[in-house]
Structure 1
Amino acid sequence: MTRVSGDPADRSDERRVRRGPFDEPRHSAKVPVSDAIASLLARPDEIMLEVGAGGELLVARLRAVIAGLLLLLPLANMLGGGTLRGTLIGLAGAVLVNVCAQIWLPLARRSRRYRWLPFATSAFDVTAASAVLVVIAAHDVPAALNNPVVWCGYLLAILLTALRGDGRTTLLAGALVLLQYGALAAFALVSTPAEALASSEHGIVTWATQLQRLVLLAAGTLITAMVVYRMQRLVEMSGTDGLTRLPNRTWLLHRIPRLLRTAREEGGSLTLALINLDHFKRVNDEAGHNVGDRVLRHVVSVLRDGAEPGEWLVRLGGEEFVLVMRKPIGTSWERVDALRRLVAGRPFELDRGADFMRVTFSAGLAGYPHEGTDLSSLLSRADQRLQQAKREGRNRVVARDC
């Protein structure tokens, strides 16, 4: 890096940086409600999806265990003096839930392959509870609407969505619960004679009690959604570089396998560029680490200005970055070289009115699948070419071995 004089009009690091593909969500101490809602409605990031996949499998296993325990409820009903019809209905429902639980379990082991699975299983959990209540209500309305056991199935269905780590499944489950249970309660209260709404065993079904239950279900949905949101924030922070707000090595380790798998299935190309700022240690030694941090943010802002869709910039650490592109290595070389010229042509201003510091970088490229089939082999090949670029004088991009 060398200092050069420049026109104040070229002080691009002072300009407002537009948002682009390299941008990551900004963290702040105070989060508006609208941001929380937007986060819950958005598709989780790659790390959260991996966490959610494990959560989906855990939910499937819990569902299988809970379904097995449900087989005990008809027996308890019979031993407690319940009617034969009620016992048979409960047994049929428990058997059906067990069969479905065994169907969902193998699918959950490959849940990342089936993006619809968390939504389908969440809807199933809610609808299964509603179906049992409908069957019970057909014979005894108070037993259905004042049933403390089956009604808790709704809360379980909502709470289990927290393990999936996807706010969309929580909101879907909550909306289905309110819609299905609200429709069942309203239909029963409107169409059932007053004398049939009273039971010596289950009490009286009233609008007030059913409204209270709906409020509790809504509160359960809201609390679960906030738990999911906090989980997403914590995981997002673990995959984001604190200085540049770029994805970090953790994010890359989770994201690359998916990108490689997609490229393999679609027959596409993927290129990884390992980027290293030239003589960055000299900046830290001579100007201090605070200036070094500002230089890093300046370079990232310039790269964001030149970003294109389908590219991911990741900070590995220090002055080292990785740029992932869905392009063959030849086209990628042109892209990275254009970014190199862009960075070199946008000097960094040390202080307002002071001289400018010219920043350059060197890069080495590696392409999938011919030069590596996993992150480790691609990084190794890219690093070899990066070292070659440094030996040849820096401020250059190398995509072929000597």
Structure 2
Amino acid sequence: MQGLHGLRGTLSRLMARPDSIVLELGAGGELLVARLRLLFAALLLVLPVANILTGGGLGETLAGLAGAILINLLSLLWLLLARDPRRYPWLPFVTTGFDVSVVTLVLGLLAWQHPPAGLNSTVVWCCYALAIMFTALRGDGRASVFAGLLAILQYGALLAVVVASADSPERLISSDYGVVHLGSQFQRLVLLAILTAVTAVIAFRTQQLVLTSGHDRLTGLPNRTWLVHQGPQLLAQARSQECSLSVALVNLDGLGRINQQEGEHAGDRALCHVVELLRGMSGRGDRLVRLGGDELVAVMPQPAGTAWERMDAARRELTSRPLVVGRGGGRMYLSFSAGIACSPADGLSMADLLRRADRRLRQSKLEGGNKVIARDD
């Protein structure tokens, strides 16, 4: 039962929407896939030329040339769309569907001319595998599952149509492509399923590694890496909505003393206690980040005055909620100091806001701590 529960949890995480950092990295992967697709599409233009040079028919060559040009135009369109990261939430599913459907279309055209060619063409069928494996570059397990299921459904439908339309067993026999065996065709479907599972796991592991690099292990909060990636986007969003964005730099008072007297474990518990309180008092759209050590950053889509009121309320609440430490149930009273900066008044970049907030935090410390400062004297 535990194994089944764990598998269910893994599947739910796999099918969940990726973190914003993963989406940003996946946008770069989508752009890479678009460039590779355009390169492969350009190589298709060589095939009609080779066909006419080796004695192929003019009609067949023109049809192949028209198909190659169409694929190149669509590949160029996907490349242009992939240059905008904002399209990434939906673009991988559209382009993946295109890649898989092109393979099915080619196999269908081959099967229409010669059924064994459509079902036993190993080279073209392997393009399904390429389409599925390319989804690993996007870092989104949902795209991998989508590609695999679409390939299985389309190839299975093609197999059913070709076998059903064969008026005699001899139609499924070829001196060049061999005999169409249902057993070997079923094995191909199983291979697609296995490849889909492996690619989805690779994409999932990529997501986990990215999340680990962007989150703090002790508190589970986003870390400095997350703030570096997402800070500019939060500021851009605030500017587009013509609203303020406040940044509060929070520092736990006396953490070094706690570590010396009670041990580092108590210091970790004290930090987590503060994080839990700030999380509980966070508003809609707020983001809490751990920069490192005892420094936290609260990003709030609020003007400086509102941000000060909320942080000061959290400061007062913390002083009334002591942390129970030790087996004897001793109580440890905590406090924090904070400096607040607000965009656009205090700066237009995250670096400017953090610099101004740090200056006000140091002023709070000089005045004895346990204080929130949002304006310079």
TM-score w.r.t. structure 1 length? Answer: 0.87
Shift of 1:167: 1.1
The one of 46, 69, 92 aligned to 1:72? 46
SS at 2:86's partner residue?
coil
Question: Do 2:116 and 2:173's aligned partners in 1 also have CA atoms closer than 8 Å?
Answer: yes
Question: Do 1:362 and 1:394's aligned partners in 2 also have CA atoms closer than 8 Å?
Answer: yes
The reply to whether residue 254 of structure 1 matches residue 229 of structure 2 is yes
Determine the structure 1 residue equivalent to 2:137.
163
Determine the structure 2 residue equivalent to 1:378.
353
Cα 1:113–1:273 shift into 2, 3 Å: farther
Shift of 1:53: 1.4
Which residue identity lines up with residue 263 of structure 2 in the other structure?
Answer: G
Shift of 1:146: 1.4
Determine the structure 1 residue equivalent to 2:213.
238
SS at 1:268's partner residue?
coil
The one of 94, 98, 101 aligned to 1:120? 94
Which residue identity lines up with residue 224 of structure 1 in the other structure?
Answer: T
Question: Do 1:272 and 1:322's aligned partners in 2 also have CA atoms closer than 8 Å?
Answer: yes
The reply to whether residue 351 of structure 1 matches residue 351 of structure 2 is no
Cα 1:203–1:74 shift into 2, 3 Å: farther
Question: Do 1:349 and 1:355's aligned partners in 2 also have CA atoms closer than 8 Å?
Answer: yes
Cα 1:286–1:241 shift into 2, 3 Å: same
Determine the C-alpha separation between the residues in 2 that align with 1:346 and 1:391.
Answer: 24
Q: Which has the higher helix share?
A: 2
Shift of 1:87: 4.7
The reply to whether residue 202 of structure 1 matches residue 156 of structure 2 is no
Shift of 1:265: 2.0
The one of 11, 28, 49 aligned to 1:54? 28
Question: Do 1:36 and 1:229's aligned partners in 2 also have CA atoms closer than 8 Å?
Answer: no
Aligned length: 373
Shift of 1:48: 1.2
Determine the structure 1 residue equivalent to 2:195.
220
The one of 176, 184, 188 aligned to 2:150? 176
1:2-401 equivalences under 5 Å are 32-76=6-50, 87-194=61-168, 195-401=170-376
Shift of 1:215: 0.9
Question: Do 2:23 and 2:88's aligned partners in 1 also have CA atoms closer than 8 Å?
Answer: no
Which residue identity lines up with residue 274 of structure 1 in the other structure?
Answer: L
Which residue identity lines up with residue 399 of structure 1 in the other structure?
Answer: A
Which residue identity lines up with residue 371 of structure 2 in the other structure?
Answer: R
Shift of 1:120: 1.4
Determine the structure 2 residue equivalent to 1:5.
none
Question: Do 1:299 and 1:343's aligned partners in 2 also have CA atoms closer than 8 Å?
Answer: yes
Shift of 1:117: 1.5
Cα 1:151–1:77 shift into 2, 3 Å: farther
For residues 341-384 of structure 1, the C-alpha deviation after alignment (integer angstroms, 9 at most, x for no partner) is: 22222111221324211110011111222222211011011112
For residues 272-330 of structure 1, the C-alpha deviation after alignment (integer angstroms, 9 at most, x for no partner) is: 11100112222123323222122112222222333333221111011100011122222
SS at 1:138's partner residue?
helix
Q: Higher mean Cα deviation, 157-166 or 123-132?
A: 123-132
Which residue identity lines up with residue 144 of structure 1 in the other structure?
Answer: G
SS at 2:221's partner residue?
coil
Question: Do 1:389 and 1:395's aligned partners in 2 also have CA atoms closer than 8 Å?
Answer: yes
Q: Higher mean Cα deviation, 102-111 or 149-158?
A: 102-111
Question: Do 2:26 and 2:88's aligned partners in 1 also have CA atoms closer than 8 Å?
Answer: no
Q: Give the unaligned 5+ runs of structure 2.
A: none
Determine the C-alpha separation between the residues in 1 that align with 2:317 and 2:284.
Answer: 17
Shift of 1:80: 6.5
For residues 169-216 of structure 1, the C-alpha deviation after alignment (integer angstroms, 9 at most, x for no partner) is: 111111211121111111121122223222221222232222111111
TM-score w.r.t. structure 2 length? Answer: 0.92
Cα 1:215–1:80 shift into 2, 3 Å: farther
For residues 234-258 of structure 1, the C-alpha deviation after alignment (integer angstroms, 9 at most, x for no partner) is: 1111111122221110111111122
For residues 54-77 of structure 1, the C-alpha deviation after alignment (integer angstroms, 9 at most, x for no partner) is: 111111111111112223344555
SS at 2:85's partner residue?
coil
Cα 1:113–1:270 shift into 2, 3 Å: farther
Question: Do 1:111 and 1:117's aligned partners in 2 also have CA atoms closer than 8 Å?
Answer: no
Cα 1:77–1:343 shift into 2, 3 Å: farther
Question: Do 2:246 and 2:303's aligned partners in 1 also have CA atoms closer than 8 Å?
Answer: yes
Determine the C-alpha separation between the residues in 1 that align with 2:171 and 2:344.
Answer: 70
Determine the C-alpha separation between the residues in 2 that align with 1:260 and 1:337.
Answer: 23
Cα 1:149–1:83 shift into 2, 3 Å: farther
Determine the C-alpha separation between the residues in 1 that align with 2:329 and 2:147.
Answer: 58
Which residue identity lines up with residue 279 of structure 1 in the other structure?
Answer: G
For residues 28-66 of structure 1, the C-alpha deviation after alignment (integer angstroms, 9 at most, x for no partner) is: xx9922222122211211221221111111111111111
For residues 120-164 of structure 1, the C-alpha deviation after alignment (integer angstroms, 9 at most, x for no partner) is: 111111112122222222222221121112211111111001000
Shift of 1:393: 2.7
